[in-house]
Amino acid sequence: MAAVAAEVCVKAAVGAPDALGDCPFSQRVLLTLEEKKIPYDTKFIDVSNRPDWFLAISPEGKVPVYKLDDGKWAPDSDVITQILEEKFPNPSPVAPQEYSSVGSKIFSSFIKFLKSKDANDGLEQALVDELHGLDEHLKQHGPYVNGENISAVDLSLAPKLFHLIIVLDHFKGWKVPENLTYVHAYVKLLFNQESFEKTKLAKDEYVTAGWAPKVNA
Protein backbone atom coordinates (compact mmCIF):
# COMPACT_ATOMS: atom_id res chain seq x y z
CA MET A 1 0.00 0.00 0.00
CA ALA A 2 1.37 3.41 -0.98
CA ALA A 3 2.42 5.75 1.80
CA VAL A 4 0.03 8.62 2.45
CA ALA A 5 1.39 11.75 0.78
CA ALA A 6 -1.45 14.12 1.62
CA GLU A 7 -3.98 14.72 4.38
CA VAL A 8 -7.21 16.62 3.79
CA CYS A 9 -10.26 17.52 5.82
CA VAL A 10 -13.51 17.66 3.87
CA LYS A 11 -17.17 18.23 4.64
CA ALA A 12 -19.16 15.23 5.86
CA ALA A 13 -22.67 14.53 4.59
CA VAL A 14 -25.69 15.50 6.69
CA GLY A 15 -26.59 12.41 8.68
CA ALA A 16 -23.64 10.43 7.33
CA PRO A 17 -20.43 11.32 9.20
CA ASP A 18 -18.25 8.99 7.12
CA ALA A 19 -19.39 10.16 3.67
CA LEU A 20 -18.58 13.21 1.58
CA GLY A 21 -21.04 16.07 1.99
CA ASP A 22 -22.42 18.82 -0.22
CA CYS A 23 -19.15 20.66 -0.77
CA PRO A 24 -18.05 20.77 -4.41
CA PHE A 25 -14.82 22.46 -3.28
CA SER A 26 -13.95 19.45 -1.13
CA GLN A 27 -14.59 17.14 -4.07
CA ARG A 28 -12.47 19.35 -6.32
CA VAL A 29 -9.47 18.77 -4.04
CA LEU A 30 -10.13 15.02 -3.94
CA LEU A 31 -10.43 14.94 -7.73
CA THR A 32 -7.08 16.67 -8.04
CA LEU A 33 -5.48 14.15 -5.72
CA GLU A 34 -7.00 11.27 -7.68
CA GLU A 35 -5.98 12.63 -11.08
CA LYS A 36 -2.43 13.12 -9.85
CA LYS A 37 -2.40 9.63 -8.27
CA ILE A 38 -1.39 11.07 -4.90
CA PRO A 39 -2.07 8.71 -1.95
CA TYR A 40 -4.11 10.61 0.63
CA ASP A 41 -5.97 10.34 3.90
CA THR A 42 -9.41 11.93 4.24
CA LYS A 43 -11.00 13.21 7.44
CA PHE A 44 -14.72 13.96 7.26
CA ILE A 45 -15.88 17.00 9.25
CA ASP A 46 -19.43 17.49 10.54
CA VAL A 47 -19.68 21.24 10.01
CA SER A 48 -22.77 21.48 12.23
CA ASN A 49 -20.68 20.16 15.14
CA ARG A 50 -17.04 20.85 14.35
CA PRO A 51 -14.71 19.00 16.71
CA ASP A 52 -12.28 20.99 18.83
CA TRP A 53 -9.23 19.44 17.14
CA PHE A 54 -10.51 20.69 13.78
CA LEU A 55 -11.16 24.22 15.03
CA ALA A 56 -7.61 24.22 16.37
CA ILE A 57 -6.23 23.68 12.85
CA SER A 58 -8.93 25.66 11.04
CA PRO A 59 -10.10 28.46 13.38
CA GLU A 60 -12.65 29.72 10.84
CA GLY A 61 -14.07 26.20 10.58
CA LYS A 62 -13.73 26.09 6.81
CA VAL A 63 -13.36 23.01 4.64
CA PRO A 64 -11.51 21.78 2.72
CA VAL A 65 -8.16 22.17 4.44
CA TYR A 66 -4.86 20.52 3.46
CA LYS A 67 -1.95 19.64 5.74
CA LEU A 68 1.28 21.35 4.76
CA ASP A 69 4.77 19.92 5.23
CA ASP A 70 5.32 22.14 8.28
CA GLY A 71 2.24 20.68 10.00
CA LYS A 72 0.07 23.74 9.44
CA TRP A 73 -3.16 23.50 7.43
CA ALA A 74 -4.11 25.50 4.34
CA PRO A 75 -7.77 26.31 3.53
CA ASP A 76 -9.46 27.15 0.19
CA SER A 77 -9.60 24.81 -2.79
CA ASP A 78 -7.91 27.39 -5.07
CA VAL A 79 -4.93 27.57 -2.71
CA ILE A 80 -4.84 23.82 -2.07
CA THR A 81 -4.91 22.82 -5.74
CA GLN A 82 -2.13 25.32 -6.47
CA ILE A 83 -0.04 23.82 -3.66
CA LEU A 84 -0.64 20.33 -5.03
CA GLU A 85 0.38 21.48 -8.50
CA GLU A 86 3.65 22.89 -7.19
CA LYS A 87 4.44 19.91 -4.95
CA PHE A 88 3.32 17.21 -7.40
CA PRO A 89 3.79 18.78 -10.85
CA ASN A 90 3.25 15.60 -12.88
CA PRO A 91 0.86 14.97 -14.39
CA SER A 92 -0.13 18.60 -14.73
CA PRO A 93 -3.81 19.34 -15.39
CA VAL A 94 -3.25 23.09 -15.74
CA ALA A 95 -5.18 24.63 -18.64
CA PRO A 96 -3.95 27.62 -20.69
CA GLN A 97 -4.56 30.96 -18.99
CA GLU A 98 -7.10 31.97 -21.63
CA TYR A 99 -9.29 29.01 -20.63
CA SER A 100 -8.94 29.40 -16.87
CA SER A 101 -12.20 31.34 -16.45
CA VAL A 102 -14.38 29.12 -18.71
CA GLY A 103 -17.61 28.40 -16.84
CA SER A 104 -16.44 30.37 -13.81
CA LYS A 105 -19.77 32.17 -13.30
CA ILE A 106 -21.98 29.07 -13.59
CA PHE A 107 -21.89 28.18 -9.90
CA SER A 108 -22.78 31.67 -8.61
CA SER A 109 -25.55 31.92 -11.22
CA PHE A 110 -26.86 28.53 -10.10
CA ILE A 111 -27.01 29.63 -6.44
CA LYS A 112 -28.84 32.87 -7.31
CA PHE A 113 -31.41 30.99 -9.40
CA LEU A 114 -31.80 28.32 -6.71
CA LYS A 115 -32.63 30.94 -4.07
CA SER A 116 -34.89 32.94 -6.39
CA LYS A 117 -38.57 33.21 -5.49
CA ASP A 118 -39.48 35.36 -8.52
CA ALA A 119 -39.85 33.60 -11.87
CA ASN A 120 -39.51 36.93 -13.69
CA ASP A 121 -36.26 38.16 -12.12
CA GLY A 122 -34.09 36.96 -15.02
CA LEU A 123 -31.92 34.68 -12.87
CA GLU A 124 -32.94 31.53 -14.74
CA GLN A 125 -31.96 33.13 -18.04
CA ALA A 126 -28.68 34.32 -16.54
CA LEU A 127 -27.82 30.72 -15.67
CA VAL A 128 -28.84 29.49 -19.11
CA ASP A 129 -26.64 32.17 -20.67
CA GLU A 130 -23.64 30.98 -18.66
CA LEU A 131 -24.30 27.36 -19.63
CA HIS A 132 -24.69 28.44 -23.25
CA GLY A 133 -21.26 30.08 -23.06
CA LEU A 134 -19.77 26.80 -21.84
CA ASP A 135 -21.60 24.94 -24.61
CA GLU A 136 -20.12 27.24 -27.26
CA HIS A 137 -16.62 26.81 -25.85
CA LEU A 138 -16.95 23.02 -25.82
CA LYS A 139 -18.31 23.07 -29.37
CA GLN A 140 -15.10 24.76 -30.52
CA HIS A 141 -12.52 23.27 -28.17
CA GLY A 142 -14.02 20.13 -26.53
CA PRO A 143 -14.66 17.51 -25.45
CA TYR A 144 -12.96 18.92 -22.31
CA VAL A 145 -12.38 22.62 -21.71
CA ASN A 146 -8.80 22.22 -22.92
CA GLY A 147 -9.48 19.75 -25.72
CA GLU A 148 -8.70 16.04 -25.48
CA ASN A 149 -7.25 16.00 -21.94
CA ILE A 150 -8.92 16.75 -18.63
CA SER A 151 -7.66 19.91 -16.92
CA ALA A 152 -7.90 21.73 -13.61
CA VAL A 153 -10.82 23.75 -15.01
CA ASP A 154 -12.78 20.53 -15.55
CA LEU A 155 -11.92 19.31 -12.05
CA SER A 156 -13.38 22.54 -10.67
CA LEU A 157 -16.49 22.47 -12.87
CA ALA A 158 -17.37 18.77 -12.48
CA PRO A 159 -18.56 18.90 -8.82
CA LYS A 160 -20.37 22.19 -9.38
CA LEU A 161 -22.28 20.82 -12.37
CA PHE A 162 -23.08 17.66 -10.41
CA HIS A 163 -24.65 19.74 -7.64
CA LEU A 164 -26.42 22.04 -10.11
CA ILE A 165 -28.09 19.13 -11.90
CA ILE A 166 -29.24 17.29 -8.77
CA VAL A 167 -30.24 20.31 -6.70
CA LEU A 168 -32.17 22.24 -9.36
CA ASP A 169 -34.04 19.12 -10.41
CA HIS A 170 -34.94 18.32 -6.79
CA PHE A 171 -35.96 21.78 -5.61
CA LYS A 172 -37.22 23.39 -8.83
CA GLY A 173 -37.88 20.53 -11.24
CA TRP A 174 -35.40 22.28 -13.56
CA LYS A 175 -33.07 20.59 -16.02
CA VAL A 176 -30.25 21.75 -18.26
CA PRO A 177 -31.87 22.63 -21.62
CA GLU A 178 -31.67 19.77 -24.12
CA ASN A 179 -30.32 22.03 -26.86
CA LEU A 180 -27.08 22.47 -24.91
CA THR A 181 -25.85 19.21 -26.40
CA TYR A 182 -22.15 19.83 -25.78
CA VAL A 183 -22.80 20.53 -22.09
CA HIS A 184 -24.78 17.29 -21.82
CA ALA A 185 -21.95 15.32 -23.47
CA TYR A 186 -19.40 17.08 -21.24
CA VAL A 187 -21.30 16.26 -18.08
CA LYS A 188 -21.56 12.60 -19.06
CA LEU A 189 -17.83 12.51 -19.82
CA LEU A 190 -16.90 14.11 -16.48
CA PHE A 191 -19.20 11.97 -14.36
CA ASN A 192 -17.83 8.79 -15.96
CA GLN A 193 -14.23 9.65 -15.02
CA GLU A 194 -12.73 7.09 -12.64
CA SER A 195 -11.63 9.93 -10.36
CA PHE A 196 -15.19 11.28 -10.23
CA GLU A 197 -16.68 7.86 -9.48
CA LYS A 198 -14.26 7.51 -6.56
CA THR A 199 -14.98 10.93 -5.07
CA LYS A 200 -18.65 11.66 -5.77
CA LEU A 201 -21.33 11.68 -3.10
CA ALA A 202 -22.65 8.20 -2.43
CA LYS A 203 -26.30 9.26 -2.57
CA ASP A 204 -28.18 12.14 -4.19
CA GLU A 205 -29.93 12.83 -0.88
CA TYR A 206 -26.58 13.75 0.65
CA VAL A 207 -26.53 16.58 -1.88
CA THR A 208 -30.09 17.79 -1.35
CA ALA A 209 -29.96 17.49 2.46
CA GLY A 210 -26.93 19.74 2.54
CA TRP A 211 -28.47 22.33 0.23
CA ALA A 212 -31.91 22.47 1.92
CA PRO A 213 -30.97 25.18 4.46
CA LYS A 214 -29.61 27.38 1.67
CA VAL A 215 -32.81 26.99 -0.33
CA ASN A 216 -35.01 27.85 2.63
CA ALA A 217 -32.88 30.72 3.92
- What residues act catalytically? 23
Is-contact 73 67, C-beta < 8 A?
yes
Q: How far is CA 215 from CA 6, 13, 119, in A?
A: 34, 17, 15
Cis preceding-peptide flag for 143 (omega within 30 of 0): yes
Q: How far apart are CA 162 and CA 74, in angstroms?
A: 25
Q: How far apart are CA 158 and CA 166, in angstroms?
A: 13
Coil, strand or helix at 62? coil
Q: How far is CA 34 from CA 23, 38, 162, in A?
A: 17, 6, 18
C-alpha dihedral sign at 128, 129, 131, 136: positive
Longest pairwise C-alpha distance within the chain = 56
